[in-house]
Structure 1
Amino acid sequence: MSERARGAAAAVEFEALADDAWLLRLGERIDDALNARVHALAARIRARAPAWLRDLVPAYASVAVFFDPRAVDAETVRSWLAQRCGETGDGGDAANSATARVVEIPVAYGGEFGPDLDEAAAQLGLTAPQLIERHSGGEYRVAMIGFAPGFPYLSGLEPALALPRLATPRTHVAAGSVAIGGAQTGIYPRPGPGGWRLLGRTPLRLFDAARAAPSLLQPGDRVRLRAIGADEFHALHERSLHARAQREDAAE
Structure 2
Amino acid sequence: MTISTRHSTRRKGFTLAELLVAMTITIVLVTLTITITGTAIDAWRGARTEIRAASQAKIMLDALGSDLESMILRRNNEFEWLHADSKETDVGPEDQPSPNAGRLIFFTAAADRYNGEVGKESVDEGGDVCAVSYQLAYTDPIFGGDDEKTSTFVMYRALLNPDETFRGLLGEENLEVAFRSKSTGNEPVDFICENIYELTVTFVVEYIDGDNDKKTVRIPIMATAKGQNA
Tell me the TM-score range normalised by the shorter chain: under 0.3
The TM-score, its normalising length taken from structure 1, stands at: 0.21
- Kindly name which structure, 1 or 2, has the bigger radius of gyration based on alpha carbons: 2
The answer to which structure has the higher strand fraction is 1
